[in-house]
């Protein structure tokens, strides 16, 4: 009896068609988003050195994105928004980048985004140290800094690659909350570019 009624209900009858059409429309959208960042296989160069450079330049679409730069500022204050304006309210790096007592980052930033208040969040939200400042730097300068153990938190190249692939603050850039533009591509795609760059000699742009 119920089955019969269901069959006659035009909405239920049409559901499989609606779903098929939706999937057909959404699939290309997903592809084009991932396509914002080329994969290592799509990047060539005259030789290994040139290819390594080209791989880093492609990864630079992420590194120079406001979602990364806002936490890697040149001064002692984080930045906000697509235009990288100074954080409102004014907060300072404080001890270890966690803010000053009374204005700790964790007072407002939790381990997840809080969209109703526009507050971004990820585990252990804090500011990158001054030695890792990227704001206003060229891609070549950022690249040299990344490889310099004096400035990069004493990380080996392999550790830098893993940081890019796995770190939660890095990953937040692709899940920045409803009001912000995510970094291009995906963290996996970005990680593959950085890994391929390291494998081809980690050559920096000139």
Pick from 54, 63, 139, 198: which binds ligand HEC (CB under 6 A)?
A: 63
**Residue 55 binds ligand HEC (CB under 6 A):** no
38 vs 58: CA distance, rounded Å: 7
For residues 152 and 72, give the distance between their C-alpha atoms in angstroms, rounded to a whole number.
12
In the complex, least distance from residue 159 CB atom to ligand HEC, rounded to whole angstroms: 9
Q: How far is the CB of 42 from ligand HEC (least distance, A)?
A: 20
Minimum Å gap between C-beta 28 and ligand HEC is: 25
Q: Exactly one of 53, 172, 197, 204 binds ligand HEC (CB under 6 A); which one?
A: 172
- Inter-CA distances, 134 with 28, 130, 168, Å: 34, 9, 19
153 binds ligand HEC (CB under 6 A): yes
Out of 125, 195, 203, 204, point to the residue binding ligand HEC (CB under 6 A): 125
Residue 64-93 contact track with ligand HEC, rule CB under 6 A, x = bound: --xxx-xxx-----x-xx-----x-x-x-x
What Rg do the C-alpha atoms of the chain give, in angstroms?
Answer: 22
Q: State CA 101 to chain mean position distance.
A: 28
Q: Which residues lie below 8 Å from residue 79, measured CB to CB, with a gap of 6+?
A: 66, 69, 70, 71, 73, 85, 86, 87, 135
Residues forming beta bridges with residue 85, ordered by sequence position = 80
Enumerate residues 17-46 that contact ligand HEC by CB under 6 A. Answer: none
Query: By C-beta, is 43 or 78 nearer to ligand HEC?
Result: 78
Q: Could you tell me the smallest distance in angstroms from the CB atom of residue 146 to ligand HEC?
A: 5
Find the binder of ligand HEC among 169, 175, 186, 199 (CB under 6 A).
Answer: 169
Helix axes 157-166 and 139-147, enclosed angle (nearest 10): 110
Residues that bind ligand HEC (CB under 6 A): 62-63, 66-68, 70-72, 78, 80-81, 87, 89, 91, 93, 97, 99, 103, 105, 107-109, 118-120, 125-129, 132, 145-146, 151-153, 155, 160, 163-164, 169-170, 172-173, 180, 183
């Amino acid at each position: 009896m119920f089955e019969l009624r269901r069959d006659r209900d035009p909405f239920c009858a049409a559901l499989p068609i609606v779903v098929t059409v939706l999937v057909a429309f959404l699939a290309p959208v997903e592809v084009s988003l991932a396509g914002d960042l080329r994969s290592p296989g799509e990047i060539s160069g005259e030789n290994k050195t040139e290819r390594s450079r080209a791989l880093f330049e492609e990864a630079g679409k992420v590194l120079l994105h406001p979602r990364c730069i806002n936490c890697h500022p040149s001064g002692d204050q984080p930045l906000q928004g697509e235009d990288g304006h100074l954080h409102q309210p004014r907060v300072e790096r404080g001890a270890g980048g966690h803010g000053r007592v009374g204005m700790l980052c964790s007072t407002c930033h939790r381990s997840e985004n809080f969209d109703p208040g526009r507050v971004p969040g990820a585990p252990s939200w804090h500011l990158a140290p001054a030695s890792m400042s990227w704001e206003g730097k060229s891609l070549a300068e950022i690249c040299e800094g990344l490889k310099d153990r004096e400035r990069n938190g004493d990380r080996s190249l392999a550790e830098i690659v893993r940081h890019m692939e796995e770190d939660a603050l890095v990953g937040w850039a692709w899940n920045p909350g409803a009001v912000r533009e995510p970094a291009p591509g995906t963290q996996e795609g970005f990680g593959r570019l950085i890994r391929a760059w390291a494998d081809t000699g980690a050559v920096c742009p000139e």
